[in-house]
Structure formats: structure tokens, C-alpha cells
Structure 1
Amino acid sequence: MTFQTRTIVRMVVILAAILLALFLASRSYPQITGEIGEEIDIGLKAPDMSFFSADTINLKVNSSDDVFAAGSTVNVDTTSADHLVIAGGEVTVRNVAIEDLFAAGGELDLVSGTVADDIVVAGGEITVRKTFEIGGSAVIAGGEALIEAPVPVDLRAGAGTVYLNSRVGGDARLSGDKVTLGPEAVVGGDLLYRTENLVIESGAVVSGQRRAMPAEDHSAFESWGRGAGELFGKLLLAATLGFAVLVLTVAVAVPSLMRSSAGFIKSRPLQSVGIGTLIAIGTPVAIVLLFASVIGAPLAMLLIAICLAITPVAVAATAFFVGMESRKIATKAEAPPTGWGGRLLWPALGALVILLLGMIPFVGILVWLFALLFGLGAVASRGGRALAVSA
């Protein structure tokens, strides 16, 4: 077993030992509750944040924190939480006591319960029944929206068809192919609508003004698009110059690291990209696990700082490799350049090549990905030794 392999194995073993120790130490203080399966029935008291995912979920949770659930069919009943976030094909909510509701589904049925503050829901067919109590505002978007529950503050609803048959304490902004105010609809503020088919049935009351909202101004979007294009061009130019400056700075500051990393990429390309892939996949997982353990959060922050520092250096190492290989092809010279001109010109050329290839649609993503992986593996493998030589 080579020195390099032994070092990597030791690092993996040490990291695994640290993670195991952290989780064993924190088992008495779990911060996240979660369950995944095909069909799950959840009935528990969860003082901490909870995540559930399954094809069918029957949810009954008493939590003082946030609850997340996603599945094909989600039935929520007798649940308390701070924020309830649910998504599914068919979603039914009954007997809840929560602060805020965020829900998305193909068919969304809000039957009963109390939401102390706001609801934000989206779906194909949305029904908000009379027995569902809302304490704040409501934002609703979908194909069909039936609103029978009172909304104490403001209501914003946009759908193919909107039917409002309840009291709205503030303004009601309604848009759709057809907007109907039923006989029990009462709008305490203004009614602002965008539709060619507004129906106000007998008994409906609008205390404020009735105003048609202007159609969307496409010219404004075109102007925004032109401005966004100009901004993108400026950002692209700034990124190009910034990347070139980064490569040149690293090449001048730590030439031994760049030469050693470039040599590693050339001599062991598969090992370089393999190590880079392991680091790219393993580090985020380790960071999440460390944060989940709570007491490992400082180490997670340290890993994040290391990632932020090494990522641009890794890409710069790949750019340096591309530049130096281009020099060998063009000049047939094997020895590294000695003058400042060559030491700056060829790394800058490598950076330019990666930038140009990185702009190609679809292919560009792979270019940046492999530039990162190759450089990451090379810098991680040769970094310590190269810096020691420089010192």
C-alpha cells in the first residue's frame, strides 16, 4: 500500500470515527425526526423538526417545530406544528393546529383546523372549506380554486376558475378565466380582479372599490430581459477576468503546487478524478451529518471554509495543467517556463480554454465539473507535499 493510499484510508477512518462518536454522543438529543417508506402511518410526539416521505402518508404529529411531508397521497389529521409543509398528488388536511401552511398538490382539500397565520397553497384542484380557519392572509394558485373559509386579512388567488364564497377582511386580488363571488362573499377592502368573466352573485358585498387590474405589460418584461442580458454580459466579463486573475495569482503564489498538481493529473488522471469525486460527494454528506449531530457543527463550519478555499484553487490547477500541456504541444518544450512571460501566458491560456468550453450549452456543465474533480483530486493528493517544498 502506497503512502498516498495509506493517507487516504487513514483520513476516511478518522472521519468515520469522528462521525460515529458525534452521533453516539448526540443520540440523547436528536434534532431531526424522519421516516421514509412505501406507506407509513405516523402518530408521534416530535419536539424537533420532522421529515416524512412515502407513497402514502397518514400523518398525526404533535410537534413544536416544523413538519415536512411528501408523497403520492398525504392525509394530515390531528397535527400540530409551527410550519407545516406538504406536497403530494392528493393532499387532505383535517384538525390541524399550526402557525403557517405551505402545501402543493394535484388535489388539495383543506377540510378543518386552525392556521394561526398565513397559508400558501398551489394545486390542480384546491378546496378551502368553511371549517378551515385562517388567521392571516391566503395566497392560492391552481387550476380550480374554491374558497369557502373566511380570510381575515388579504386574499390573493389566481386560477383557471376562482370561486370565492366567504368573508375577506382586507383586499381580494383575484385573477382567472372566470372569477365568481358567491352569495356569501364579503370583501372588506377593495376587489382587484383580472378576468374577462367576472360574476358577482346576488348577496355578495364589496365594501371598497372594484378595480380591474391592468393586463401584464409585456413591454416591461422585454425591457427587463434586455437589462438582464446586459447585466449577464457584464457578470460574464467580470467572471472571465476574475477567473484569469485567480489562475495567475495561484500560479505565481504557489508555483510548486500548480506544477505538482498538473503532473499528478497527467500521470494519474483516473486516480485524480476518482479522489476528486470521493471528496466532492463525501464532504457535503459529512457536513450535513456533522450539522445534524449539533456538537459537530464547528467541524462542519471548518469543512465548509476549507471547501470554499480549495474549490477555486482546484479549478485553477486544472487550468494550469491545460495551459502547460498546450505549451508543450505548441513549443515542444518539456521544461517548465523560467521567464515571467511564459509563467503567466500559458496558465492564462488554460483558463481561457476552460472558460470558452464552459460556455457551450450542456457540455459546459461537464467541462466545469471535470475541471473541478481533476483539480480537487490533484490538489488534495499533492497539496501538502508541494506546499512543504515551497516552504
Structure 2
Amino acid sequence: MCLLCLSLVGGVASAQSDRTGGTVTIASDETHDGDLEVTGGDVRIEGTVDGDLTVTGGSVFVPGNVTGDLTVTAGTANVSGDVGGAITATGGTIHVREGTTVGGPADITGGTITIDGSIDGNTRLDGDSVTVGPTASIDGDLTYRADRAEIDDSATITGTVTEREDSGMGPFSDTSLPDVPDFVVTPLLGAYLFLANFLLGAILLLVAPSFSESVSDRGIDRPVVCGGVGLVSLFAAPIVLVMVFLSVIGIPLAFFASYNIIFAVWIGLVYGAFVVGTYTLSLFDRVHRWGALAVGLALVSIANALPYVGWVLVLFTLLGIGAIVRSLYDRHVRGKEDGEAPDHPDPAPPVNETR
């Protein structure tokens, strides 16, 4: 789920398999090695994914290249890049634009479906409105079902064209997918992310209550320092992974650690929200750890839904990671929860000498 989205070094994109956030963009100069899952309110894939790509969002635009299969679930989806494998898409409005090349079969279900690109394989279209434009090319059979359908005579279709009377979905054959607007998809996605984050936060508070309080205290006490420590930690983690990866024995360890880093970033986001929520309640002279968690994650959900403020999630995550690192340092390296060394050691007991 997260966040997927906090990669601070372009060269470590292959170490991450998930991107999550209000607005998620894979830059045009970015190449991801391996499968990638992206979740966001607005998702734009401009770069290259050397593997399978799974995208979920209210609005999805894929002008980039995918060497494997492409799976899209969105209110609105536009595909204009090259896809090496099959394409599976579900949404309100789906458009495979002119110039797009799909190297495998296509299975598309939506409210409004438009095909203007090339598909190398059998194609199945199921929607309220289906349009196959004059520039479309389907190297295989076309099977479609729609209340309104337009198959242009100039379209190139090498196989047979079959119109189905039903959607082939058993007792729900007369039910078509509604046109899901973005303003419905985005709140639902935000509610799902809130519940997932709250579940993780509840586990942290129940399993490690004193440590969670320590993280909150350090984040509130010195937020700028914690943010800096979190930034350094995120920069240092990929360097450590590369050093481990250089040894043959370290290769599997590096892959295992890369997934742990993703989970650590998620924990950092939740703890950062807990710190902010605790501070917010303190402004009203209130102390309640569950309320603090809820308030902080509510702020995360708001930042996740609003455009142009996704950077707030980065600040929350850096604050949380830094507070975690400081708490671990104080507890395990210096051996004290309060982080301060004693002024004087306890005097040694007297030694009785016998002659």
C-alpha cells in the first residue's frame, strides 16, 4: 500500500516494488527493474517498467513503456505507451490511444471504452459504450458487448468480430460497470489507506507502548533533528544495501533487506503521524494515544487526497524514522530510555580486608 513514493535516490528505484500516495508519478528518466505496483489518487507512469505493472488510482495515465503485463484499475485510464505483454483494465473510462502497441491479448471492462491503438492478440471489450476507431489494429478475434458500439470500417481486425448479447458473468449478465467518478474513487482509497495505517499503528501501540511513547517524546522534543536523522537514514540505507549486494552471500540478504526498508518506511509514516497527532492534542491540553493516532492519520489522509501537498507525507515519514532511530540509539546504544547519561556512577561497595 504506502509509500510506495518516498524514493529519494533515483538509482534505487529497482529496490522498491510499491509506490503509494495521493499523486504518484514515475518520471520519464526512471527505469524500474522488476514488477511494480502503484497506488494513488492520480497516477502517471512516464518511465519504463521492466516487468509487470499494476496500477490502481482514480485517474491513471500511462504514456511510459512496460515490458510485461499491464493491469489497471481506475475511474479514468489512458494508455498511450508500449506494453510488451497483455493488458487487463477495469474502470469507468478507458482509452487505448493511437500509437499504443500492446504485445498481448486485451481484456477491458468499463463504462466507456475506446480503442485507437494496436493489440497483438484476442481482444475482449465489455462496457456501456465501446468504440474501435479507424487507427485501431487487432491481430486476433474481437469480442465485445455494449449498449452502444461503433466498430469503424477502417479498423484492422485479422480475426472474427463477435458481439455478445450478455457479459458472460452468470446471474449478473445484465449488470454493466458504472462510470465511477474520481471524486468517489479517491475518498474510498483514502478510507482504505487510513484503516490500513490505523491497524499498523494500533499494533505498534499495543505491542510496544513504552517505545511508542519514547518515539513521540523525541519527535515532539526535537522535530528538526529527527527529520534530519530520518533523511540521513534513508540516504544511508541504499548505500548499505549496495555494499551488502556486492558479495555473493549478501545478494539474497540485500533483496530481503530491501523489502524490510519498504516496511520500515511505512512504520516511519505511521509513527510520524502519531508524533504530529500527539502534538496537536497537546495544544488543547489533551493526552490520548489512540486519539493522537487517529488525528495524525487523518492529517495523512487529507494530505494524501489533496493535490500538491504530497510532500507532507515525506515530512511525516522523515520525522517518524528519525524519532525511531533516536529512540533506538538512546535505548540500546546509550542504554537509557531518557537518553541522558548519569552524572556520577554509583560508588563501588567498600571492600573489607582481613589480615
Alignment TM class, shorter chain as reference: 0.3 to 0.5
Structure showing greater radius of gyration is 1
- Ranked by relative contact order (alpha carbons within 8 Å, sequence separation 6 or more), the top structure is 2
Higher strand share: 1
TM-score by length of 2: 0.45
TM-score by length of 1: 0.41
Higher helix share: 1
